Homo-oligomer: A and B are copies of this chain.
Amino acid sequence: MKTRRTPAFAALRRGRQNLLAAALVGVVAFTSASTHAQDPLASWNDGPAKQAIVEFVKATTTDGSPQVVPPEARIATFDQDGTLWVEHPMYSQVIYCLDRVPAVVKARPELASKEPFKTVLSGNREAIAKLSQDDLMKILAATLTGMSVDDFNAETKKWIAEAKDPRWKRPYTELTYQPMQEVLQYLRANGYKTYIVTGGGQDFVRVYAEQVYGIPPEQVVGTAGGTKFGYDKSGKPFLTKEPKLLLNDNNAGKPEGIHLMIGRRPSAAFGNSTGDKQMLEYTKAGDGARLAMLVLHDDAEREYAYGPAQGLPDTKVGTFTQALYDEAKKNDWTVISMKNDWKVIFPFESK
């Protein structure tokens, strides 16, 4: 067997190159030390939110700390829409489903004259905005199920690469929050496994989560439907997406989904709406140091302002009620003010 030699090992054998080898190792150590000296939360203003994150990480990852969490148990969960990226004025997955309607109708022409598909095809934005929850469920079922998992993944991948947000005229994947990206990286650098726990579709978010957040598919928990195993004409097995709901990953469904998919209670959880309330309660109910944070969208200029907590406008997407705000204040959860806590909102602003 031929031994693969590391530079340092070769140096030991050859004697005369010790200095070069040690210098190389030294350079690596130095680079690493200088990286660590940078602020991992550089886009956060100093204040209670930033302080809460840093203190939590210190308490749970410093050897000898009474609240240290073993590396294998370091779990942090993040809501996606409104917590990691923009959710206004409409969840990107709903836009995906609306965009998919023409292709679905082409494959099933009988839908063209049926509601709610007829309204979507009309292109009448006002009428589309008024579609009921039931109508939306019909559109979701028609556009997210009935195809193979592979076909769905390919369609989503194509859409996510091409679709653009009308306000910023950029792909949705660029509208992630830079300060939250830093939290993800900071937690991972300290041994945390970061999970997305989203009310959005699990299969949908899994398509891009690795590229956008560095979160692999198996660490995305979301609203999930069943699949059906079968064989194509050549005998090759494949999975079909079924219109059967297994997990509605909102509200109480979030801790239930965390138990189903992860099987451990998180040490830290991040959200921005009433749909995240139970996940934060469940996280805080564990022993030791716990971090529960809620993003408050109070920056109409740089992003959007909505609540209705703290007198912010009441909108239909991502509701942050005053009751949730009061619960946060009472239970030592930290409310993040986009306006005051974040130096920049998006990664492209800091370049």
Contacts and interface: CB of A to CB of B under 8 A. Distances in A.
Contacts of A247: 246
A275 to B, nearest CB: 13
A263 interface: yes
A237 B26 CA distance: 50
Contacts of A106: none
A235 to B, nearest CB: 9
A261 B259 contact: no
A165 interface: no
7 contacts: A8-B25, A9-B25, A75-B218, A226-B256, A228-B252, A237-B278, A237-B281
Contact of A206 (B5, B228, B263): B263
Contacts of A264: 217-218
A122 interface: no
A285 B230 CA distance: 12
Contacts of A206: 263
A90 B30 CA distance: 58
Interface in A8-32: 8-9, 11-13, 18-19, 21-23, 25-26, 29-30
Nearest to A263: B217
Given A255-B239, A282-B229, A22 B29 contact: no
A201 to B, nearest CB: 12
A-side interface mostly: helix
Interface of A: 1, 3-6, 8-9, 11-13, 18-19, 21-23, 25-26, 29-30, 33, 37, 72, 75, 149, 193, 202-203, 206, 210, 216-218, 220, 224, 226-229, 236-239, 246-247, 252, 255-256, 259-264, 278, 281-282, 285
A189 to B, nearest CB: 15
B33 A202 contact: no
A25 to B, nearest CB: 4
Contact of A237 (B4, B13, B260, B282): B282
A12 B22 CA distance: 6
